[in-house]
Amino acid sequence: MAGGDYASALLYLFSATDYEKMRRVRYNADTFSLDRVHRLLAMIGSPHARLRSVHVAGTKGKGSTAAILHAVALGCGLKAGLYTSPHLVDLRERIRVGDRMISQEDLAARIAAIRPSVERLRGEGDAPTFFEIFTALAFDHFDRVGVDLAVVEVGLGGRLDATNVLAPDVAVITAISLDHTLQLGDTLAAIAAEKAGIIKPGVPVVSQPQPDEAARVIERACRETGAPLAVVGRDVTYTWSPAERDGRPGVTLNVTTPAATYGGLFLPLMGEHQAVNAATALAAAEQCPILVECLSPEGVRVALERVVWPGRMEYVPGTPPTVIDGAHNRASMERLVEALARHFPNRPVTVVFGSAADKDVDGMLAVLADQLPDAPVFFTRTNNPRAADPADLAARYRALAGREAVLVPDVAEAVRRAADAAGSAGLVVVCGSLYLVGEVKAKNR
């Protein structure tokens, strides 16, 4: 297919309303309509109804958990699909079958196939959003290529998310913290209620450890729907330690479930939270009929060693080395700082920070000010319309930290200056936004 055909297909796709690029979005059943998604899918043959799936919601860790579970499925010899969001560099990253993202030709073909249905709904005054269209064409692609299992990450929330049309084999809820508060609510209970919206009658649920306020909501939803609940830290346990293998930092871990013990595992992702994500993925695999039949300690060990999840505490060798991480709320920033202390205890840190304006900027900056008091911070901005003004970020940091901040609006220049400041003995950390991570990765390709 000619490049122009693919470019034209993307132009059409991006003509749809894209809430990922908006600072303020009304979160209700009119804006996020599952009825509209059902209608769109019905028009293209209801591909979602033929998919076996695992559905993953949560504030933090849902993408990593989905990627680990996908790797386990591939290690079982399954033809497995992975649907995640957002992408870092290329839109096609969001739809993967095996270890390959969807081709330009296939994505253009899927857009062409769904376009008449989208136009019909638009003509009725009920236009699907970008994410609704993309979710539908992802399910269509998985169905057409005949995946054995689709691992599907929720986009926003859960209850009203376009992915919540699935009837999964297992539902997973990862760590819940305050994020997207304008849309999901400003309490952990309110956010947990939205995440728990993916729980279906009788479908097994695996939850990560949660704050009490959120845990009570999930437990109640499971009782009301008759959904069996397994909780990491209670029903599934793990031990972990920082490790390095072949120059790749990560964690070694042991996971014990009610059915098996998986020992001596190495996961090339950093931080205790990744050990939690791995334990969660294995617990979910044991609840998934098509996976539990083929799980083995050796197969799991090989699968985890092959996990790749870019932009999440991703280590980039160099002089100095760089860690790029999409941490974009206070809780994820705390986890990042904890992981840096465990994995790089003797390296001074220099930070490049940029954020979306609608995130908990003060919470993230407070973590940097309190826990990395000696780290120079370079403030920058991405090309995303939601990006915060770096001058405002720097001013807020000065007020919180009581010390100077450096303003470098150009992302590439900010990274260069941070590397110079870090020197060969230091470590550059890029954080605050997945969009910032994406721009850094794109410039380094």
CATH (domain of 417)? 3.90.190.20
> pLDDT at position 360, please?
86
Which residues, in sequence order, are CB contacts of 433 under 8 Å at separation 6+?
326, 328, 354, 355, 356, 359, 382, 384, 387
How far apart are alpha carbons 161 and 41 in whole angstroms?
A: 14
Question: Do both 59 and 154 map to the same domain?
Answer: yes
Positive or negative CA dihedral for 301, 303, 305, 310?
negative
> pLDDT at position 362, please?
93
Question: Do both 124 and 254 map to the same domain?
Answer: yes
pTM above 0.95, yes or no: no
Tokens of residue 356, six digits: 């979306």
Question: Do both 198 and 346 map to the same domain?
Answer: no
| Domain final position from 274, 305, 336 | 305
Position 432 pLDDT exceeds 90: yes
| Domain final position from 305, 339, 373 | 305
How far apart are alpha carbons 154 and 372 in whole angstroms?
A: 32
**Mean pLDDT to the nearest integer, 363-392:** 93
Across the chain, what does the average pLDDT equal? 92
User: Per the omega criterion (within 30 degrees of 0), is the bond before 320 cis?
Assistant: yes
Confidence band (pLDDT; 50, 70, 90) for 19? Answer: low
> Burial, 11: exposed, middle or buried (Cβ in 10 Å; 0-12, 13-18, 19+)?
exposed
**Mean pLDDT to the nearest integer, 100-109:** 97
Distances (CA, A) of 178 to 58, 222, 275, 355, 363: 11, 22, 22, 16, 10
Question: Do both 107 and 131 map to the same domain?
Answer: yes
Question: Do both 153 and 288 map to the same domain?
Answer: yes
Question: Do both 297 and 320 map to the same domain?
Answer: no
Q: What is the pLDDT of residues 60-102, one digit of tens each?
A: 899 999 999 999 999 999 999 999 999 999 999 999 999 999 9
How far apart are alpha carbons 12 and 321 in whole angstroms?
A: 40
Question: Do both 240 and 323 map to the same domain?
Answer: no
Position 349 pLDDT exceeds 80: yes
Count structural domains, the chain.
2
Query: What stretches of 235-389 show up as alpha helix (H) in DSSP?
Result: 272-287, 289-292, 297-305, 330-343, 361-371
> pLDDT at position 4, please?
61
8-state DSSP, 358: T
Question: Do both 95 and 134 map to the same domain?
Answer: yes
User: CATH code at 108?
Assistant: 3.40.1190.10
> pLDDT at position 115, please?
96
Q: What percent of the chain has pLDDT over 70?
A: 93
Helix (H) or strand (E) holding 15: none
Nearest in space to 273 (alpha carbons), one of 58, 71, 433, 55: 58
Question: Do both 33 and 127 map to the same domain?
Answer: yes
Question: Do both 351 and 390 map to the same domain?
Answer: yes
- Asked if 265 contacts 254 with a C-beta cutoff of 8 angstroms, the reply is yes
Question: Do both 241 and 173 map to the same domain?
Answer: yes
Higher pLDDT, 183 or 52: 52
| Domain final position from 305, 330, 356 | 305
Nearest in space to 222 (alpha carbons), one of 249, 241, 203, 247: 203
Q: Where in the sequence is the domain holding 377, given as residue range(s)?
A: 314-443
Question: Do both 286 and 349 map to the same domain?
Answer: no
Confidence band (pLDDT; 50, 70, 90) for 167? Answer: very high
Position 49 pLDDT exceeds 50: yes
